[in-house]
Amino acid sequence: MKRLFIPLIAISLTLSGCAELQQVASQLPQTTGILSNADIAAGLREALDNGIDKQVTKLTAVDGFYKNQMVKILLPSELQQVDKTLRDIGLSSLADEGLKLMNRAAEDAVKEATPIFVTAVKEITFTDAKNILMGNDEAATSYLRTKTTSPLYAKFNPVIKSSFSKVGADKVWKNIITKYNAVPLVKKVNPDLTDYVTNEALDGVFKMIAVEEKDIRNNVNARTSALLKKVFAAQDNK
């Protein structure tokens, strides 16, 4: 009887151990196969593509910048006094129009330049993909910003300049600056608004891409493909 009892205890303990192991395993991130650097890089690129497709396109709509407090382009410091002075002398409507048209130019430019961002993402090479994957909520976006800001600026700036003319911002701001410079005793200004709006528009684009990256990293339901599920499961519970 004792001989039969001992094996039964052993089997019971083994089964109990298996159940505990299965419970632990079920709590671990589920991945299929071993992730290669190429897999991770492809997943990061897809996440950035989603950011462009779902978030950056919002900026191209009317008021995409102007009514989005996260990315709304405000006046540069050297023009804040211009704005105040215009309002003090009863030209608030002109000041409001100037601010709105800066944002309109950015909205129009992003619409025309979105393919630039798509191409940039496709061509980007993640030399340290695993560390980026295991990084913070904006790690891939920050990497994209670091690697592409200079070349994107070179391509984006002429689009902003063209958009200024297209939406009439150049004429409005010429009128604003002329009226301001005609006010007695003020310090004359001649800001490069094309450069300023280019940088602000780029910053807005990266902020919106980061919104999608953060969602994919923290919301399993945002992982809309097998690749995203496989890659970002590896960074869960890191």
Taking the C-alpha atoms of residue 142 and residue 136, their distance in angstroms, rounded to an integer, is 10
pLDDT in tens, 171-216: 999 888 888 888 888 888 877 899 999 999 999 999 999 999 999 9
Residue 32 DSSP SS3? coil
Q: Exposed, middle or buried, 116 (CB in 10 Å: 0-12/13-18/19+)?
A: middle
Per residue, what are the HEC states of 59-125? Answer: HHCCCCCCCCCCCCCCCCHHHHHHHHHHHHCCCHHHHHHHHHHHHHHHHHHHHHHHHHHHHHHHHCC
pLDDT in tens, 9-37: 443 434 344 444 344 333 334 444 578 99
Confidence of residue 154 (pLDDT cuts 50, 70, 90): very high
Confidence of residue 3 (pLDDT cuts 50, 70, 90): very low
Question: Chain-wide mean pLDDT for the chain?
Answer: 85
Beta strands in 138-214 (DSSP E): none
Predicted TM-score (pTM) of this structure: 0.80
What share of residues in the chain are helix, strand, coil (percent, to 5)?
Answer: 75, 0, 25
